[in-house]
Amino acid sequence: MNLLAPVDKFLNHTTMYRLVLYYVSALLLAAFGLGFFKLVPHDPAALAFSTVFITLACWLTNKVIAAVLNIPANTESIYITAFIVALIMPPIMPTNVAGLGGLAVASFVAIASKFALAVYRKHVFNPVAIGVVASSFILDQPATWWVGGNLQMLPLVVVGGLLILRKVQRFEMFGVYMLVNLAVTIFSTTPDMYVEAFTQSLIYSPLFFAGFAMLTEPLTAPAALLPSLGFGAIVGALSSPAIHFGDFYFTPELAFLVGNVYAWFVSPKFRFKLTLERIEKKAQGCYDYVFSSNRPVVFEAGQYLDWTMGVRSPDNRGNRRSFTIASAPSEDRIRLGVKFYPGPSAYKQTMLSMKPGHVIYGSQLAGEFTLPKDRDEKLAFLAGGIGVTPFRSMIQHMVLTGDVRDAVLFYGNNKADEIAYADVLDRAEREIGLRTIYAVAKDAPQASNMHHGFIDANLITSTLPDYKERTFYISGPRVMVTRFEKVLKELGVGHKRIKTDFFPGFA
């Protein structure tokens, strides 16, 4: 039995932004409760007042600026920003006028930076980091990071943070951040202090909270693997209390700003305004939304975008999604392949109401799930349901550019009428020799060449004798991806020959 299955089910139905909102909300509630027993260093009344004050300041700033600029904003990010500010700035009572000024500056700058400090419509700085730095430099009201220095809060900080990492799959970046920070901190002291330095860094510092809540912020961190590791290393090193230049010591928030500058230079710069031209039905419940872009979208087949649109009443899944680009780089329009399930989210309901001329915004172009550079490498694609979209992009690009490769697609669906992009796959078979093996779990047409049932080890080994020589690409829901990773490893396929892409959640 997979003990993590209930966890993954929850994560699949919760967007990253909503998960982070749950996380910081739980920390604030826990701190408020612990305050009554004097297990945190702050009066619960001061914490409650500061949280409400910061939240109102952030909400009002966002409301005014978004209305003036007439652009959609992620409403959850307002509260996430406000709650993180509340967790790292010192709680105060209304009589502390200087403290109120510090909270106001931190809140205003944090939200305003999302609009003002954006180059090519891309955020440069982590909003919380730039906000608390402004408070420190302008009014000498620095962040105290009190949430990270409390032993009673640590279990919740870590458990909730690990859920975020599992959701966003940023374990490598987080691991480098931790290792570099600990190494710099420990080895800057004497050997007899190693244990104390290690303990202090893990238990009584903001290392965990900053890494979970801020390092993973997607708009100011690189999306590609290698740049993200560099980002983690920079922030981890500069967050160490051992790093200083003369009398000037770095703080975690300053470390993030330096890391953000690096991230901006190594990441795609543009935000794309995508205007809907038409909607094409591709299968039962599956549609392609075809957009024109205000500027060329230069990408590799298999990469994804973050898609943000105005949702009048966002639900717990927010108004931003990560979707693979279904079109090929060599096509002149951007396609978004979507499957609609019963009980759609507010985001999907908004999509259902879209008409030609409606606008959606794309950003954070990224993804490592791309074709290998070596065209002689043998490939096997495994797709579940709408997980076929990155393969549609790859295969269409191969057809349009005459890129002939030894590739086989295993494509699984519950019913035959859920098969999407059959026209693209049929053309690929004719023109570049792509072989597609359809697996239909139920109601498969009689006397068809479709495999009746699910894709499994027997189907792979019986139809693909040279499977150990191939690189496997797996795309679909997390449970499917993890299952096939296990199946392939049991069949003797090496870890380096398995590439995965999974849905971060149902949208």
CATH of domain 379-502: 3.40.50.80
**Structure tokens given for 303:** 């990469």
Average pLDDT over all residues of the chain: 90
Is pLDDT of 171 > 70?
Answer: yes
The answer to whether the beta carbons of residues 47 and 32 sit under 8 Å apart is yes
Distances (CA, A) of 409 to 81, 388, 457, 493: 43, 9, 15, 17
pLDDT band at 102 (very low <50, low <70, confident <90, very high): very high
Residues 287 and 266: their CA atoms lie apart, in Å, by 34
Separation in Å, CA 196 to CA 1, 153, 201, 207: 40, 20, 8, 15
Q: Report residue 292's pLDDT band, with 50, 70 and 90 as the boundaries.
A: very high
The pLDDT of residue 502 is: 67
pLDDT tens by residue, 375-415 = 999 999 999 989 999 999 999 999 999 999 999 999 999 99
Phi, psi of 480 (to 5 degrees): -70, -45
Contact 398, 405 (CB under 8 A): yes
Q: What is 282-366's CATH number, 3.20.20.70, 3.10.129.10, 2.40.30.10, 3.40.640.10?
A: 2.40.30.10
Q: How confident is the model at residue 316 (pLDDT cuts 50, 70, 90)?
A: low
- Provide the phi-psi class of 370: left if phi over 0, else alpha when psi is between -120 and 50, else beta: beta
Domain map of the chain by residue range? 5-266, 282-366, 379-502
Contact status, residue 220 vs residue 124, Cβ threshold 8 Å: yes
pLDDT of 120 over the 80 cut: no
Which pLDDT does position 506 carry in this prediction? 43
State the pTM of this model.
0.78
pLDDT(447) > 60? no
Q: What's the farthest any 2 CA atoms get from each other in the chain?
A: 80
151 has a pLDDT exceeding 60: yes
Of 27, 365, 324, which is closest to residue 164 (Cα–Cα)?
27
- The answer to whether the beta carbons of residues 256 and 231 sit under 8 Å apart is no
State the pLDDT at residue 181.
96
> What is the Cα–Cα distance from 321 to 306, expressed in whole angstroms?
5
Judge residue 377's burial from the number of C-beta atoms within 10 Å of its C-beta, 0-12 exposed, 13-18 middle, 19 or more buried.
middle
DSSP string, 334-357: EEEEEE--SS--HHHHHHHT--TT
Instruction: Check: CB of residue 397 under 8 Å from CB of residue 425.
Output: no
Residue 505 or residue 416, greater confidence? 416
Average pLDDT over residues 174-193: 94
Is the pLDDT at 71 greater than 80? The verdict is: no
